[in-house]
């Protein structure tokens, strides 16, 4: 895979986009854009957890259904999900049917519900490294894990969150704009 790829619009993008239109839209409009708010970050945490072991495009294509069955990722609603909801979710082919990830999402919602508005946002963003003017020159320069994502993971686990490993949290940091891993030369400046 090339570090940069030129799309049909002649724009250079990060090579992971490939020729998929949905990936191109996600890259151009969402990935690396600062994301704030307990609900938005809870959704990102949940989806990154579901992504573990899978490709992000799989999650991206299923995201509308995830949003539907997880009540728009409203932590207060998801926190109330019970056994019937778990079974309903396990039977829904429109999402990733992994019981441990479903239970973690519900448990994480219970933790977020217990936080003040903005508290999850403040906590997660406290691990964002200082902004840098330097971008990775190639995919080889993009880490899978950093000291900051490891510290974030450790703090979230200490608070009881699940499916928040250091690699998963680094992916969240990238997608939520806490770090800028757009490859040098990518049109997204």
Report the catalytic residues: 26, 48, 56
Distances (CA, A) of 177 to 22, 27, 34, 86, 160: 19, 12, 4, 31, 24
Nearest to 46 by CA among 86, 94, 106, 118: 106
- 185 is written with which tokens? 């030369």
Rounded Cα distance between 81 and 106, Å, is 7
Cβ-contact 28, 16 below 8 angstroms? no
Distances (CA, A) of 24 to 20, 43, 45, 82, 188: 6, 21, 22, 37, 12
């Amino acid at each position: 895979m090339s570090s940069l790829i030129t799309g049909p619009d002649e724009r250079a993008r990060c090579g992971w986009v490939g020729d998929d239109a949905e990936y191109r839209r996600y890259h151009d409009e969402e990935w690396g854009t600062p994301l704030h708010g307990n609900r938005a970050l809870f959704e990102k945490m949940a989806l990154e957890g579901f992504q573990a072991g899978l490709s992000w495009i799989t999650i991206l294509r299923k995201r509308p259904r995830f949003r539907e069955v997880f009540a728009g990722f409203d932590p207060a609603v998801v926190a109330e999900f019970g056994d019937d909801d778990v079974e309903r979710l396990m039977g829904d082919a429109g999402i990733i049917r992994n019981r441990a990830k479903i239970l973690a999402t519900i448990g994480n919602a219970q933790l977020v519900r217990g936080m003040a508005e903005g508290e999850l946002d403040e906590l997660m963003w406290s691990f964002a490294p200082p902004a840098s003017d330097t971008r990775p020159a190639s995919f080889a320069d993009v880490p899978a894990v950093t000291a900051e994502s490891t510290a974030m993971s450790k703090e979230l686990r200490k608070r009881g969150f699940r499916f928040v490993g250091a690699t998963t949290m680094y992916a969240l940091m990238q997608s939520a704009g806490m770090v800028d891993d757009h490859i040098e030369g990518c049109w997204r400046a």
